[in-house]
Every structure is written in structure tokens, then in C-alpha cells.
Amino acid sequence: MKNLEPAAPFNVPVKDNCSILPVRVFLIIMIITLLSLVSDSCFASDSCVTADCHADMGKAKFVHEPVANSECDACHAETGKTHPGDKGAFELTEQGPALCLQCHDNPGEGKKHIHPPILEDCTNCHNPHQGSRQKFLHEPLGDLCLMCHDQIEQIINDSNYKHEPVAKGECLNCHVPHASNFSPMLRIFYPRNVYTKFTSKKFALCFKCHESDAFTNRLTTDATNFRNGDRSLHYVHVNRPKGRVCNNCHGVHGAEQPKIIHSESPAFGAWNIPIDVKMTKTGATCFVGCHKERSYDRIKKVVNN
């Protein structure tokens, strides 16, 4: 019968029993040490989240369900390199929005206007793992939007008068984050022209929070302060076949003059019309562009000529 005794480890020449013993002891200690190291590591564990590895994963206030369920491999695939250790041991299972659309419906599906950052990467706004905020958003809502919208940030910072929901960062009262059928990324329709034939429905965005009476009643003593005696000047300007859209006069985000009135009407694009309002206790005097100044007074009706 053949000798089935294993060869001496590493072909250590067997001289006598005295010299082989320290080598064996050394090897056994090495193996035990290595084994104990490995069993502590993430790699040998069947979870990526242990006391030593990615320990904060799943500990935040809001945790993404696949993370909570340790389905790391839904998004991370092993490349074959050693982990931990080598760089590039994992790659994402899909790139950009496709990573998320493995499980989520495409929020842009069937919508006329797609918010460009959702086409680029959902992680522009969402942390893929978890966070201290609902939906794992990177920033509180207002700040989140202002990360990219410098122009709006500038309007808000420069405005003496800010529209309250804007100042509170409640952009989503009027806008949606992913996609919309109503430009610009609005929850519901709002006229984008300078003039429009008035209907209450067209201004439902504003009338969600403001009374429509000032615009539907020709005469009023309380529905609006924009009135001359009891004649509503909101009605006069807005409720007509060629009615002025609110943002001819008001900045929807903020503006320089009281009652968030623009100092320049932006409605005509490059050709901005200067507006100058001097408020009094009971009315105001307005200088608009090249027109004659006009005044209104709620107590003593002004006759402009």
C-alpha cells in the first residue's frame, strides 16, 4: 500500500523531531490568528452590517427598506476583488436612475415636463441608504431646492418682502419634485402668459390659500385692500378678457415692495416695466412704466384722470 501520510508542510526537511516542532506550533498559531481575524471581518459574515463594518447602516431615523433588509446586493455587486482591502470591490448594479427604477415606478412616466435632475441621478436629492429626514432627502426641503436654484435663492435673499410659503421653504406647496404636466413644475395649472381671460380655475394655485372673492366681486368693502372705495382693483386688473396674471405685479417668490409687489414687472421678458408703489394707510399711489401715476384710497375714493 502506498504511504498516504501527507507530505511535511512546505517540504520542510525532516531532520529530527526537535526542529519540526517549533515550525508546527508557529503555523498553528498563524492559522488560528488568521481564522479569528477573518471571522471578525465583514467578508466572512453573511451580513455587510456588523459591529465593525458599516455599523451605522440602518441606524438613522429613516432607513430605506432594502437597506433595512440588508439587501445591499440589490444595488452593489461584487467585482471579484478582495473586500475589505481592494478598491473597486463593488460596482453599482445599474447606473443613474436605472438603479432606482429596478424597484420604483418611473416618476416621470407620462408627464409632459420632467425635472432634469431626476434624469441624471435620483441621488441628487435622495441618499440611497438612509437619513434623518423623510425620504432620505439630503437637505430640508427649501434648502434642497436652493442647492441648484441660485436664481431663486438670490430672489429670496434680495427680497425685502418674501412670500410666506417660500420663506418657509415650502416649495412643494406649489411645485412637485419629479415631473409635472404643468409648467414650471407646478402642482396644478397656472397661466404663464402676461394676459389671460379670467376664470377662477386658472388661478386655483393661488386660491388654494387666498380668497377668490376679490377677483370675482366687482364691488367689495373687505375682500381686498387693493380697492378704490368699494371698487376692487384686483377685479379691474384681473377679471377681464385680457386680464393681468398675478405675477405682472406680484413676485410669486418675493419682491422688493410691500405686498410682494415687483419693482419691475418681469412679464414682458427683456422689456421690464418699472413699478413704484407708495403705500399710505388707506391706499397707495402707483407709478407704472410710462403711464401717469394712479392712486387708490379705500376710505375716500380717488378720481384719477
- Tell me how far, at minimum, the Cβ of 305 lies from ligand HEC, in Å: 19
Is the peptide bond between 84 and the residue preceding it cis, with omega within 30 degrees of 0?
Answer: yes
Q: What are phi and psi of 239, to 5 degrees?
A: -90, 80
- Tell me how far, at minimum, the Cβ of 217 lies from ligand HEC, in Å: 12
Nearer to ligand HEC, 159 or 171 (CB): 171
Q: Give dist(CA 154, CA 146) in Å, integer.
A: 9
Nearer to ligand HEC, 20 or 195 (CB): 195
Is the peptide bond between 6 and the residue preceding it cis, with omega within 30 degrees of 0?
Answer: no
Contact by Cβ (8 Å): 294, 285: yes
Which phi-psi region, left, alpha or beta, contains residue 58 (left: φ > 0; alpha: ψ -120 to 50)?
left
Q: Single out the residue of 263, 267, 252 nearest to residue 287, CA to CA.
A: 263
Nearer to ligand HEC, 208 or 218 (CB): 208
- Tell me how far, at minimum, the Cβ of 35 lies from ligand HEC, in Å: 24
- Tell me how far, at minimum, the Cβ of 52 lies from ligand HEC, in Å: 12
Distance of CA 147 to the CA centre of its chain: 9
Q: Give dist(CA 145, CA 48) in Å, integer.
A: 33
Nearer to ligand HEC, 33 or 69 (CB): 69
Residue 266 C-alpha cell reads as 418681469
Nearer to ligand HEC, 259 or 301 (CB): 259
Q: What is the CA radius of gyration of the chain?
A: 34
Nearer to ligand HEC, 57 or 256 (CB): 57
Nearer to ligand HEC, 20 or 186 (CB): 186
Judging by beta carbons within 10 Å of its beta carbon (0-12, 13-18, 19+), is residue 260 exposed, middle or buried?
buried
- Tell me how far, at minimum, the Cβ of 160 lies from ligand HEC, in Å: 11
- Tell me how far, at minimum, the Cβ of 84 lies from ligand HEC, in Å: 10
- Tell me how far, at minimum, the Cβ of 292 lies from ligand HEC, in Å: 15
Q: Give dist(CA 35, CA 47) in Å, integer.
A: 18
Greatest extent of the chain over all pairs of C-alpha atoms, in Å: 126
